[in-house]
Structure 1
Amino acid sequence: MLKVGLTGGIGSGKSAVASRLAGCGALVIDSDRVAREVVAPGTQGLAEIVAAFSDRVLDADGALDRAALGALVFADETARRRLEAITHPRVRARSAELAAAAAPDAIVVNDVPLLVEVGLAPTYHLVVVVQTEVATRLARLARDRGMDRAEAERRIAAQADDTQRRATADVLLTNDGSLADLHAAVDVLWRERLRPYEANLRERRPARSDHVVLAEADPTWPQQYARLAARIRHAVAPADLRIDHIGSTAVPGLAAKDVIDIQLTVPTLADADGPLAERLAAAGFPRLPGEWWDNPRPPGSGRWEKRLHGSADPGRPVHLHVRPADSPGRRYALLIRDHLRADPDQRAAYLMLKRELAASAPDSATWSTAKDPWFDEEHLRAEQWAAQTDWRP
């Protein structure tokens, strides 16, 4: 199943997105609803809250008085963390039970207000963030919840800010327009990304394109890499494997195909097979079929074997190169990246070559082989630079 994390600040309209996704066919797990369930009267969760905060947080019927509890914890970080230690493990466990009961082809959307704050982003295949201007949120909280401005501002300040949420967002839905606009954006997301992603994930099928389109340098590529790397790290845990951003998207200011190249270092090539390959596929990075290797530099010294995975997400192409620690190809990928970062002249020369090749609209295979002569020479330049600077991978 495809696991989607949905979040947004209080008053952002996240619930409207969740409702629309449910209408499209998603299984929505509402963390707020689950949070109420795990502290209902008679539960161990409620008993622990009373033990921690006294019966002042109970109403006349013995149920949790959420307003009274909120007044205690929102202004006190220590108290809030104490509450979270009681409720969060229970919410996660119950949410996991609900997800496990879903159909194999389900798209499970976890509606989690504090997804960013508790660091859950890497556990999902995709994170959707709903973002709305603070002024709009304040107006909605006053209109829809009867919340006074001071309390609304305090609630907003207690959550992650927009910058923190954007850093976790694979999809950013802006909700400053009409409800119809928001619904239209959700429908496109469902049709063009979530459904194809789920099918690819279930079939262990990478989403890929063989047509080369050169994109201008995107300053968010490193941030996109960081999100992907966090998912990979979560997938391969408890193994502590080195993960690197390589290729042109790792070189600031360099135009590139809009594909994030990532290198995962394993002890041996045998470690790239078996359980590790399946864990990567389950996390959204299925292996590309066939045999894969790097062209040696200099030519003629034998091919450098590797494993290559792609991304099941049609909205974020990825090449995940799995190389053993002793592979010359692993060292080469890091060397060329660092040399291009350090040498503006070679960076400019490489960009010129890329533009010339892209103009002829080659397919991926032609694109790669056409660059080989330039990289044969670049390898020599990079090795000289490495010796002069005492570079190490």
Structure 2
Amino acid sequence: MLKVGLTGGIGAGKSAVAKRLVANGAVLIDSDVLAREVVAAGTPGLAAVVDAFGAGVLTPAGDLDRPALGAKVFGDDEARRKLEQIIHPRVRSRAVELAHAAPPDAILVNDVPLLVETGQAPSYHLVLVVEADHELRLRRLEETRGMTADQAAARIAAQADDQQRRAAADVVLENNGTLDDLHTQVDRLVRDRLRPFEEHVRSGTAARFGPELHIAEPDPTWPAQAARLIARIRHAIGGDLTVAHIGSTAVPGLPAKDIIDLMLAVPTLDEADALADRLGRAGFPQRLGDWADNARGLPGQTWPKRLHGTADPGRPVNLHVRVAGSPGWRFALLMRDHLRAVPAARDEYAAAKAAWATQHADRYAYGEAKEPWFDAEARAADDWAEETGWRPSTS
């Protein structure tokens, strides 16, 4: 089962995306619908709302008077938080029940308007955000919901802004064109990413990426992408284990293969093996074999580890699981910090990458060509560490 979080600002077109996902076979859990169910007449949720806000929020028939309740909470942050504390836990509990009832091969889409505001993003395999231009959203709210311009602007301002939603988004769907344009985006996403992602999660296999080599220009979003993945891993494994962004994509200004390298530090490799199933269910299945269990160390050495990939065909990831304090763990952090701190070393590595890329057409030959550089970098980084008093940091 693939768990997808869907969100977007009011008027952006989230409901249209949800409908198209359902048309493509997804199972939808709509938080707005659940929010109404949990405060329906006769429910404990409605009783809690009445206790908090008074009988004035009821209609003569005993149903929730939504306009009356809205008048009490809109613009009052304390009242809004009180209402959220009543509704949100009940909605989440009901969503869990529905998720358990879904087929094991489902693409399960949770439509959550306040997904970002409530911090739920790490609980999903993938987060989709629907966006539209501010003026277009205002016009839609006026035309389709009968709001005044001031009311529409106030509703938009009360939610997370586009920047906050983008920070949580694995995929952004732009809805500034026609409905057909939006449907084309959704259909392509389901075909090329969501369906294979679900199959990989269910089978516990990593997505395969071709051997073709491409060195990308530095992407300023790499750290934010890594942060989302790290939050997902921490949510999956719990506890206080650290996960760090390592490798070339963790060094600002350094060209790199568009692969996010992460490192999970564990007390022992037995602990790494015990976490393998949880990581797999979260979308990071283990890669097996000698090449995945060991990493090259200094001459004549190997540095044992476990290697996990990603079930997501749209975002290449290597998750290295190493024992905290081991030589491999130390070198990964030291190399990253050395290249961050010494621009000349970073630029020398960038130039070497460009030369290797012209000489080799695939990633594997390129990786072998880098081996002598790593020996030299290990010595230079160790000298720098001694000079500066460097200590490992996972940040």
Matched with 2:51 is: 51
Matches within 5 A, 1:308-387: 308-387=307-386
- Unpaired runs of 5+ residues, structure 1, are none
The whole-number CA distance in structure 1 between the counterparts of 2:185 and 2:313 is: 17
The whole-number CA distance in structure 2 between the counterparts of 1:290 and 1:354 is: 28
Using structure 2 for the length normalisation, give the TM-score.
0.97
Matched with 1:89 is: 89
**Residue type of the partner of 2:190?**
W
Q: Which moved more, 1:288-297 or 1:373-382?
A: 288-297
Using structure 1 for the length normalisation, give the TM-score.
0.97
- Secondary structure at the residue paired with 1:264? strand
Deviation for aligned residue 1:325: 1.1
CA contact (8 A) 1:225 1:260 kept: yes
CA contact (8 A) 1:222 1:250 kept: yes
Matched with 1:242 is: 242
Q: What CA deviation, in whole Å up to 9, does each residue of 1:217-265 have, x standing for no partner?
A: 100000000000000000011x210111000000001111100000000
Deviation for aligned residue 1:61: 1.9
The whole-number CA distance in structure 2 between the counterparts of 1:173 and 1:67 is: 32
- Secondary structure at the residue paired with 2:130? strand
Q: What CA deviation, in whole Å up to 9, does each residue of 1:179-208 have, x standing for no partner?
A: 111111011111100001001111111113
Q: Which moved more, 1:192-201 or 1:206-215?
A: 206-215
Matched with 1:220 is: 221
Q: What CA deviation, in whole Å up to 9, does each residue of 1:84-143 have, x standing for no partner?
A: 100000000101111110111000000000000000000000000001111111111111
Matched with 2:182 is: 182
CA contact (8 A) 1:211 1:361 kept: no
CA contact (8 A) 1:27 1:106 kept: yes
The whole-number CA distance in structure 2 between the counterparts of 1:314 and 1:361 is: 24
Q: What CA deviation, in whole Å up to 9, does each residue of 1:63-91 have, x standing for no partner?
A: 11222212221201100110010000000
The whole-number CA distance in structure 1 between the counterparts of 2:74 and 2:138 is: 17
Q: Are 1:63 and 2:63 counterparts?
A: yes
The whole-number CA distance in structure 2 between the counterparts of 1:263 and 1:73 is: 44
- Secondary structure at the residue paired with 2:220? coil
Matched with 1:119 is: 119
The whole-number CA distance in structure 1 between the counterparts of 2:358 and 2:286 is: 30
Q: Which runs of 4+ in 1 moved over 6 A?
A: none
Matched with 2:100 is: 100
Matched with 2:390 is: 391
Matched with 2:12 is: 12
The whole-number CA distance in structure 2 between the counterparts of 1:334 and 1:76 is: 46
Matched with 1:138 is: 138
Matched with 2:302 is: 303
The whole-number CA distance in structure 2 between the counterparts of 1:337 and 1:314 is: 26
The whole-number CA distance in structure 1 between the counterparts of 2:197 and 2:72 is: 42
Deviation for aligned residue 1:12: 0.7
CA contact (8 A) 1:208 1:310 kept: no
- Unpaired runs of 5+ residues, structure 2, are none
Q: What CA deviation, in whole Å up to 9, does each residue of 1:258-296 have, x standing for no partner?
A: 00000000011110002x110000000000121221211
**Residue type of the partner of 2:297?**
P
The whole-number CA distance in structure 1 between the counterparts of 2:74 and 2:173 is: 27
The whole-number CA distance in structure 1 between the counterparts of 2:297 and 2:189 is: 41
CA contact (8 A) 1:74 1:154 kept: no
The whole-number CA distance in structure 2 between the counterparts of 1:94 and 1:17 is: 22
Q: What CA deviation, in whole Å up to 9, does each residue of 1:29-60 have, x standing for no partner?
A: 11000110010000000000011001221123
Aligned residues: 389
Q: What CA deviation, in whole Å up to 9, does each residue of 1:138-190 have, x standing for no partner?
A: 11111111112222222111110000000000000011111111111011111
Matched with 2:279 is: 280
The whole-number CA distance in structure 1 between the counterparts of 2:328 and 2:82 is: 49
RMSD: 1.0
Deviation for aligned residue 1:380: 0.7
- Secondary structure at the residue paired with 1:258? coil
Q: Are 1:155 and 2:155 counterparts?
A: yes
**Residue type of the partner of 1:133?**
D
The whole-number CA distance in structure 2 between the counterparts of 1:132 and 1:61 is: 39
The whole-number CA distance in structure 2 between the counterparts of 1:151 and 1:38 is: 26
Matched with 1:200 is: 200
**Residue type of the partner of 2:236?**
A
**Residue type of the partner of 1:247?**
G
